[in-house]
Amino acid sequence: MQAAAPRRGLGVGLGTLLLAALLLAAVVLGTGLGSVTIPPGEVLGALWRGVTRQALEGNDVIVWQIRLPRVVMGALVGASLSVCGGAFQGVFRNPLADPYLLGVASGSALGATVAIVAGWPRGLIPVSALLTALVAVACTLSLAREGRRFPPTRLILAGVVVGSVLSAATTALILRGEDRARQVLAYTLGDLGFSGWRDVLTVLPYAGLGCGALLLLARALDTLQLGELTARSLGVPVERLRLIAVIAASLATAGAVAYVGVIGFVGLIVPHMIRLAFGPGHRTLLPLSALLGGALLVGADLLARTTPLSQVGIVTTLLGGPFFLWLLRKERHD
């Protein structure tokens, strides 16, 4: 047992380096490829000149003013949704839980749509998204609760019902706001194309606070996997842990969804991939999910804007749908 710990630590260390390199590669490729192709060396040079406050020249303007905000937003949103998915799966001890399936993303989308259709300032969009996300997750948990337990089937069914109702409400708002219909429709399909630096800076505190709180809860989430009774006997306040985790995850999800729309399945796929590669411990699972989630969404957005798929939400749904079916089949056999 003592010999296994260093080997596992080395594996996690190497995995962290590989995933960080993957994220950097995704950022460089995502910034360089498009209607004007910019070689990786030139992208890195532009990034260095911008960071060191040197004068920007040639394609540097394309890198910094057009493509990099979109890529950074993709990395931020992918990381947030992946960390939230891993935390939800740990909190409810349910491998099928993620912000999309629990109705949190649909709630955020409704709040953001209300703000867009009403013409509110962009800074209020995440606030509106957060409020409706909290209402959505409260409804889902209330419907799914059975005593102190949240049975997996009831949780998923409640999330689907709440998400469907909120999606219908969002559609009704789109139909009413005809002059903004195209913008809202693109938003509901998931789109990073409207992202600017101001949006990135607005989303950053939501992602930082939400994901930071979840990372601090990682040890308690590990203890919770031993069972509620065991966790309580070891001093973990289970109900308080769930409440804080749900609020933190809703905060990060609302920030992620507020400007880029509903991007499904990232929070489901990524934690499972990390769990298969590095084990179920949340102190490893959550930070590595952030790296892989960021890289995955930047790659999906690159695929969306260089192929006829056009919307990043369509790409993640095409990837996540088969994965979800495989997961359901695996759970049934287990």
Distance CA 316, CA 276 (A): 20
What is the model's pLDDT at position 236? 86
Identify which of 171, 142, 159, 69 has the alpha carbon closest to the alpha carbon of residue 105. 159
DSSP classification of residue 34: S
Whole-model pTM?
0.83
Distance CA 293, CA 300 (A): 10
Highest mean predicted confidence (pLDDT) among 9-13, 54-58, 206-210, 237-241: 206-210
- Percentage of the chain modeled with pLDDT above 90: 21
What is the pLDDT confidence band of residue 5, given thresholds at 50, 70 and 90? very low
Nearby residues of 136 by Cβ (< 8 Å), 6 or more positions away? 102, 103, 104, 106, 107, 108, 110, 162, 163, 166
Highest mean predicted confidence (pLDDT) among 5-9, 13-17, 315-319: 13-17
pLDDT at 290 over 70: yes
Q: What SS3 class is residue 230?
A: helix
pLDDT at 84 over 80: yes
- Mean pLDDT, range 248-276, rounded to an integer: 84
- Sign of the CA dihedral with 113 first, then 118, 122, and 128 last: negative
**What single-letter amino acid sits at 165?**
V
What is the model's pLDDT at position 152? 64
pLDDT at 4 over 60: no
Distance CA 18, CA 22 (A): 6
Note whether 104 and 268 are within 8 A (CB).
no
Identify which of 99, 91, 150, 153 has the alpha carbon closest to the alpha carbon of residue 129. 99
CA angle at residue 87 from 294 to 82, to 5 degrees?
A: 15
What is the model's pLDDT at position 291? 95
Residue 309 or 274, more confident: 274
What is the model's pLDDT at position 180? 65
What is the model's pLDDT at position 167? 82
Distance CA 140, CA 134 (A): 10
pLDDT at 1 over 50: no
What is the pLDDT confidence band of residue 77, given thresholds at 50, 70 and 90? very high
What is the model's pLDDT at position 105? 79
